[in-house]
A and B are shown apart, each in its own frame.
Chain A
């Protein structure tokens, strides 16, 4: 397939310090977990999963331990063999206490017998989607939206793009990069499964141009693939945000009232696509993911293949521990991740990284008066007026907030990043969005 190699992007965005050099050349290292693994029942968007094991049960690797709590939900499978030690609330990265299944690892890694694998060609669409559902696959880029819901499009023939989000636009993160370099075939495998669902779609690997080696690699790998193409994107945050990515690849625009499928697109993150491939072609549930442990406070920044449920402490130890005592630890990237106040937390399906920073620059900054410079408007990928929205939020003006399209915000944080007055723009907007959303739910 002849490939156009012009660089595409979206309007707005920022260029923060990338920090990827710390870990990008470190190959993926498999690590085994210690004693207790914690599986929060809610590590996805939608209803929490429902436990189907009880205290004292012995479970095997790959065994389902919690059933999806509805259609928009995902099941959870054990990543180790061992005994269910407790089902109790545990803290997760957001700071909330979430009901979790705790399994004591017996280090045997005895696996369940996975269902027989059938050739992709013989499977119906419903079968493929149910494999994904049974594997508990969710969006692993951070949002955690159940993947089988995303794939269950009303009119699959209307989809013309299956986009693999390989942008990895968050600073410091290198897990997708390592995945592409080391396990590119798994990504292509997964993409082919997704393409089997959408007969008229082209598969697009969307990669930022700060990863030229990945672009070259996939160009070579897909020379003979008529349905897969590689797209070079300008390196810019938030290039990987769904709507920005769709626009960069297809020039189609959508707002919050529509889904990607409404403009003929299905978008999945690179890691998620791999999980889809594993679920359908090998019938393996989602049990592990790649996590980047990095930051200037880490002795040896690395990329690890981690059993989901592993305690963060173990990941830090595996990376040589701390070089200096960190002031700030972020689960996820520094733009959209969560600041965590302790490390006694489990790795979840959506945990892409731990960024440990020696200095917490944010806590040193004092917000000053807005000088109306307009930088927040310029960088906003949703083309909003963050200055006004933040003001409405502070003054509890809900109607104006909605009128000025506050609900279109994608919470990327660009406005707060560029603000010369260091105002809490994204933070204010987010809190008002939460208020409005919770009222809508009622």
Chain B
């Protein structure tokens, strides 16, 4: 008993959940969408996923080695970014698109702003939008071995009827991970059950989108049209996996509802009135920019505080 014991400020115990656990849960939740993408588009999809993940992880590693910073790839956040970016790419992209996207996502959007937790935009989405603007024709080339036609959303935009059943299953054209609503929802349910995400953002996002489309869309509250809008494009992937990104969504509860409605409105505007059929990515990164403002005005009232005191 001559040795002095360790002291520290309370609390002296901690919960078991760590950042790694959360990231691993997201990776597991993305596996159904990855699996379906590979099944739907062939082994090419696997290569896109692997190359993108390798480039995001290596970028973070090299950046930290060169700048002699602590190595953080063990938190798996770069893997999540890589998978999300890959799922947002068409299967036909050349390998260097994956690499440019991965490097941009990690280096420019994440590390230059201070690393994990400091980025003001979702790295995967920002990289996707960067690629869309820089390499538009490659990024919108949905010609592949499995499908030759345009994406269902593009068809919908032209006023054609789409097969909603196929869209829910995912047997249609699009980016690697966005086509199967079922695969995405299975992953989302896993995260919801674990409490990693909640329905506040995706719920208000999807609900407000449906209401806007129903009220001011071309087909009113037509079940067929609205289901096609919900199942098509990146809406499901965006709502459950990218709008819920902790770092770039408001942390306040009220703010999360405001954010969800804002995303619903933007997605509606981009999809219905924009020149492109898709608008989820732009809606979410624009929403990301508003997060500090939303948080500022939705600061919660402390317990027992009365207004004006």
Contact = CB atoms under 8 A, between A and B. Distances in A.
Q: Interface residues of B: mostly helix, strand, loop or mixed?
A: loop
Nearest to A356: B5
A160 B9 CA distance: 37
Nearest to A408: B302
A328 B6 contact: yes
A430 interface: yes
Nearest to B256: A374
Contact of B18 (A11, A256, A420): A420
Interface in B105-120: 115-118
A388 B56 CA distance: 29
Interface string B297-309: 0011111111001
A342 B4 contact: yes
B252 interface: yes
Contacts of A417: 11, 13-15
Interface residues of B, number: 40
Interface string B1-31: 1001111111111110111011000000000
A381 B309 CA distance: 19
Contact of B251 (A334, A368, A387): A387
A243 to B, nearest CB: 6
Nearest to A255: B304
Nearest to B6: A360
Contact of A408 (B12, B15, B305): B305
Contacts of A405: 302, 305
B217 to A, nearest CB: 33
Contact of A413 (B11, B247, B251, B305): B11
Interface in B72-110: 72, 75, 77
Given A326-B5, A330-B12, A254 B304 contact: yes
A371 B302 contact: no
A80 interface: no
Interface stretch (A123-131, A269-277, A421-429): A421-429
Interface in A353-372: 355, 357, 360-363, 365, 368-372
B22 A255 contact: no
Interface string A284-322: 000000000000000000000000000001000000000
Contacts of B77: 371
A386 to B, nearest CB: 10
Contacts of A171: 13
A430 B9 contact: yes
A153 interface: no
A391 to B, nearest CB: 11
Nearest to B118: A369
A337 B10 CA distance: 6
Contacts of B299: 385, 404
A171 B309 CA distance: 35
A371 B15 contact: no
Given A336-B11, A420-B17, A341 B4 contact: yes
Interface string B211-251: 00000000000000000000000000000000000110101
Interface in A189-232: none
Given A408-B302, A420-B18, A371 B251 contact: no
A203 B131 CA distance: 68
Interface in A408-442: 408, 411, 413, 416-422, 424, 426-427, 430
Given A382-B302, A405-B302, A416-B14, A372 B7 contact: no
Interface in B247-273: 247, 249, 251-253
B303 A334 contact: no
A385 B11 contact: no
Interface string A375-407: 101000111110100000000000000001100
Given A335-B11, A338-B10, A374-B251, A243 B303 contact: yes
A95 interface: yes
A374 B246 contact: yes
A335 B13 contact: yes
A427 to B, nearest CB: 4
Q: Interface residues of A: mostly helix, strand, loop or mixed?
A: loop
A97 B223 CA distance: 74
Contacts of A368: 19, 72, 75, 116
A22 interface: no
Nearest to A335: B11
A313 B1 CA distance: 10
Q: Count chain B CB atoms within 10 A of each CB in A343, A374, A417, A422 and give the residue with the most.
A: A374
Contacts of B75: 368
B309 to A, nearest CB: 7
A16 B11 CA distance: 11
B91 to A, nearest CB: 31
Contact of B5 (A328, A373, A426): A328
Nearest to A381: B303
Given A373-B22, A383-B302, A387-B251, A341 B7 contact: yes
A357 B75 CA distance: 28
Contact of B246 (A372, A416, A430): A372
A340 B5 contact: yes
A329 interface: yes
Contacts of B252: 374, 377, 385
Contact of A336 (B5, B10, B118, B246): B10
Given A341-B7, A343-B1, A420-B21, 4 more contacts: A362-B14, A373-B246, A405-B302, A408-B304
Interface of B: 1, 4-15, 17-19, 21-22, 72, 75, 77, 115-118, 246-247, 249, 251-253, 299-306, 309
Interface of A: 11, 14, 16-17, 95, 171, 243, 247, 253-258, 313, 326-330, 334-343, 355, 357, 360-363, 365, 368-375, 377, 381-385, 387, 404-405, 408, 411, 413, 416-422, 424, 426-427, 430
9 contacts: A336-B11, A371-B22, A371-B117, A372-B246, A374-B251, A385-B299, A408-B303, A419-B14, A422-B18
